[in-house]
Structure 1
């Protein structure tokens, strides 16, 4: 007989499979089979507990998955166009196939394996390819992220389906039970590849290095698109899933007088600590044992020049590293990610300030792109200020091994493997080779590391930031291109720097030591969400003025992460099919 059981157990019991089985059998008085339905960590008290929801039975348990990977061939079916191969675009494509429509996916970047060479170039040589980077390419920004699958979406059925599709394409089934699931940046490329293979096997198309440069519009209806290669592609509808960094698409839409809206977003910094510090704060112990690398979530309300602003942690990456996320030369953007094991010695999180209409007022001549122009201006300004300091201020950087010790000369040579598009085992899929860096080690520059190519990031230890002085010495960092010691009060606009100062002081009260010398700010975190919304009908999901155009995902302003983007991709596919697919 099958039963459901809810328990709160110590980590050493709950997280050890053999011990948990023995405990359950002793408790029930009989050998049994079990399956974890939900698992979460309760660290509110000094003794951490693991909350478990289990199915138990004396007989083998049936698979609880409702999704089966089986797609009919749509090679000869009517086609719809999807622009962008991120989570929204890929899941839209799979859903179109299920609905009997052939997806033609157009991706400006390269396939996931080919992207790695360009990511290596950003990290090692500071060269940014505007179409192949941490944001553009197969899987979008989601591929080289922490792979966080946590969402606040209330559509639990939709979320469960997305998780099951990911499991069917190679993700660990632990994402079905973890309260805060993640896949890991080293595992995501394989999952993305499997998603692509399913689309192709079913007769869909994915065209890489196919940048959309124009729209075919007639009487407020989109008929198709044109690519940089001169291709003219038509379909029964267009799902626009280009992500939050495809600025050229926003300009293209404005050129065609497609209605857009400026949207609030957030900008700030990445704050990096030693993972051990975060563990000790969250788990109340110096040895976390079997517990995973700890995360944190912080928020504070601040006030600057009479304007109240929220400041919050964003995309916290336990056991992770910071990467250069610029999408064009002459701008500076950083982001964070974690491998599946979250075993880096560093922890980092975006700490960002809410940006609203009062901030982009100086750019109001740009209309609905005013917030975007503000974002661009800040990214360029931070880059220019950093370049001015690069000459004699470059942080000394060389790789660390996976366990955090400085590499020997021979180990350092492994960096060269990246030039051949091959990463180190388990850690190389992100293009950084899984290397971490120390700001206290000798750094050899190459000819390509000229200041005009610079992806060095400005940094400052937290106490120095709060005191308004340049740090004499920076902490170790996971940021591979290297750091430049600067006063972030001067680097960032006041409407970002001042709220950050207030919030960090408050965070230090909640996490003792957060504002201490073990933490440092690294800038600039600016791609938290899209600064533009492409308005659509609430029911049909179609653009409110342009027929057959379905704005989708994070870039359109309707998602904020892998799962919510995937859910929105499926919804847009269903909406397109409901209105425009041929009825049998």
Structure 2
């Protein structure tokens, strides 16, 4: 059995095998001459001291010990072409991982995805970036792989106990993701790499008898005491009826039409807390200097990140989806709205750093939208997104202020350089945001500046609006069976149902729901 040891290395020695052995030996437990092999199983950056270091958790084998080779995981996939069908609405991480799990369990997934496959989806992204044209069915949120595919591919989650975290990571590696995601404390694939991984996952599903229908949108469902069928509009514009042994709803946090459909059919929904705010973009070298204490970042260190949180008037104000070396992208899902998100490529080599900076919105904050009932949070989201759009020229140019002007409540005469391709225009975000959001952001970013000296600077742009952090609606389900309380065959899943908050947590939720479906169908 190996001995597990915690060590640290300077960045320049991270890839040096001899330095790794010396660091192990310095721990005093194993002489260097007795070390047969060292395997890193966890790594993270510690920049708290004067010089950043890598902290590593390693397994060490002594001379004479048998080194057990790592065997690739066996996913036990089988041919399910003739198995009972399970319909999955949505081809994001929750839907795709549910499909893979169903195949392992001997059921046939049929995925309905309103958007396009990852390759064709690029045209939709080009249209919104360059022409300001929003396709309501194919965009940064809708399409194969879901919102995470073209908005960064970060895999960090704190929800390790919600499911089989390692299995989800191993599945991504098996389909082409880099192996370092298995050991990094904050794993990341990148929006240039993840589409290939997603395409490989699609092929696995198809090769084992599953089916994926792109450009197929669920417009209605037959419901009495349970869901009897889905009414689907296909890519050819023709409507058809789809029946299955069970129905998994994995539609993501922006499928507002699905919430409206369920409500129309009398299926219970719940309002839930969410967060809303802005995206703040700094020059990446500035963030590097603050975090690493180096005038110029050492070449063996990655673009630095940050995570900031404070409390302002009983509400959390926090950074969200921080993208070091990244880009700000337009994430609207319908014409007439401005929504922004962040992404980065695998190398994280953009000269900019950006992060969502948002305020927690609790149910009591939705009183001005009480007439909308369970959709009060959606109404707040939409009102802000439309205000941002109406402040501009009808394109996807986003309203922005310099960070210092934002805090002082004044219009910026000019703006800093940006990664946001459609462009920015100076606008009074302090008026466009609800007062309860703006005032907390105003205090919150000043607190961030005190925690992280140099963060509060006129070099940073504040860009509106970061509104799709999570769904403001939950589709309820039983904690044990994962079934909707009014429909035994309906299984809400992932971010859109209000039970996940990122790629990995959605993937694990998809796995859990698939197992619950199998338990019902095979009972």
Q: TM-score, normalised by structure 1?
A: 0.85
Distance (whole Å) between structure 2 residues aligned to residue 65 and residue 536 of structure 1: 37
Q: Does 1:327 align with 2:333?
A: yes
Q: Residues 529-568 of structure 1 correspond to what in structure 2 (within 5 A)? A: 529-568=470-509
Aligned residue-pair number:
512
For residue 386 of structure 1, give the secondary structure of its aligned residue in structure 2: coil
CA distance 1:259–1:8, shift in 2 (3 Å): same
**What is the CA distance between 1:386 and its match in structure 2?**
2.4
Distance (whole Å) between structure 1 residues aligned to residue 295 and residue 36 of structure 2: 35
For residue 569 of structure 1, give the secondary structure of its aligned residue in structure 2: helix
Distance (whole Å) between structure 2 residues aligned to residue 327 and residue 16 of structure 1: 47
For residue 141 of structure 1, give the secondary structure of its aligned residue in structure 2: coil
Aligned to 1:277: 286
For residue 349 of structure 2, give the secondary structure of its aligned residue in structure 1: coil
Report if the CA contact (8 A) 1:68-1:168 is conserved. no
Which of 368, 379, 384 is 2:385 aligned to? 379
Aligned to 2:270: 261
Aligned to 1:441: none
Q: Residues 424-573 of structure 1 correspond to what in structure 2 (within 5 A)? A: 451=394, 454-573=395-514
Report if the CA contact (8 A) 1:302-1:310 is conserved. yes
Distance (whole Å) between structure 2 residues aligned to residue 538 and residue 12 of structure 1: 48
Report if the CA contact (8 A) 1:35-1:61 is conserved. no
Distance (whole Å) between structure 2 residues aligned to residue 257 and residue 63 of structure 1: 55
For residue 287 of structure 1, give the secondary structure of its aligned residue in structure 2: coil
In structure 2, stretches of 5+ residues that fail to align are none
**What is the CA distance between 1:357 and its match in structure 2?**
2.1
Q: Does 1:298 align with 2:308?
A: yes
In structure 1, stretches of 5+ residues that fail to align are 388-450
For residue 50 of structure 1, give the secondary structure of its aligned residue in structure 2: strand
Distance (whole Å) between structure 2 residues aligned to residue 552 and residue 178 of structure 1: 27
Distance (whole Å) between structure 2 residues aligned to residue 333 and residue 156 of structure 1: 30
Q: Residues 80-229 of structure 1 correspond to what in structure 2 (within 5 A)? A: 80-155=86-161, 158-219=164-225, 221-229=226-234
Which of 214, 222, 238 is 2:247 aligned to? 238
CA distance 1:129–1:17, shift in 2 (3 Å): farther
For residue 160 of structure 2, give the secondary structure of its aligned residue in structure 1: coil
Q: Cα deviations across residues 299-323 of structure 1 (Å, max 9, x unaligned)?
A: 11112xxxx2211000000000000
Distance (whole Å) between structure 1 residues aligned to residue 83 and residue 223 of structure 2: 23
**What is the CA distance between 1:16 and its match in structure 2?**
4.4
CA distance 1:246–1:299, shift in 2 (3 Å): same
Q: Cα deviations across residues 215-247 of structure 1 (Å, max 9, x unaligned)?
A: 12132x112201113121111110000000000
Structure 1 runs of 4+ with >6 Å offset: none
Distance (whole Å) between structure 2 residues aligned to residue 79 and residue 235 of structure 1: 5
Distance (whole Å) between structure 1 residues aligned to residue 475 and residue 46 of structure 2: 40
**What is the CA distance between 1:60 and its match in structure 2?**
8.6
CA RMSD of aligned residues (A): 1.8
Q: Cα deviations across residues 184-223 of structure 1 (Å, max 9, x unaligned)?
A: 111100110011011000000000000000112132x112
CA distance 1:68–1:475, shift in 2 (3 Å): same
**What is the CA distance between 1:362 and its match in structure 2?**
2.2
Q: Cα deviations across residues 374-424 of structure 1 (Å, max 9, x unaligned)?
A: 11111111111223xxxxxxxxxxxxxxxxxxxxxxxxxxxxxxxxxxxxx
